[in-house]
Copies of this chain bind each other. A is one copy, B any other.
Amino acid sequence: MPTATGHTKAILGSKVKGTSVYNTAGDKIGHVEDVVLDKTSNNIMYAVLGFGGFLGIGDDHYPLPWQSLKYDTNLGGYRTNLTADRLQGAPLMFSRSGRVRY
């Protein structure tokens, strides 16, 4: 999220979760369900795009490159130029313990 004054590039992970994600046409395609972090480096591996409930059974979750999300103040959410077709080519699975399986 951008700040009112735009003087910081930092955002809390907890503030990202739940934020709506829109495509380039301005249609809501889902929300940021979580972020996936690399335990062995300082890298954010990706954001997880969710549809429907939050990590509920049967929900679909797709990885989004973190840097593909640009906050749009008019929409009040992130805009991404990735298409549903591209996202659905890379499914993710989550275990209940929060582990990520490819």
Binding site for B on A (CB under 8 A): 1-4, 8-17, 34-45, 48, 65-67, 71, 94, 97-102
Contacts and interface: CB of A to CB of B under 8 A. Distances in A.
A4 to B, nearest CB: 8
9 contacts: A8-B100, A9-B40, A10-B100, A11-B38, A11-B100, A13-B14, A37-B66, A42-B43, A42-B65
Given A1-B98, A12-B100, A98-B11, A37 B38 contact: no
A37 B17 contact: no
B3 A99 contact: yes
Contacts of A4: 99
A16 B66 CA distance: 18
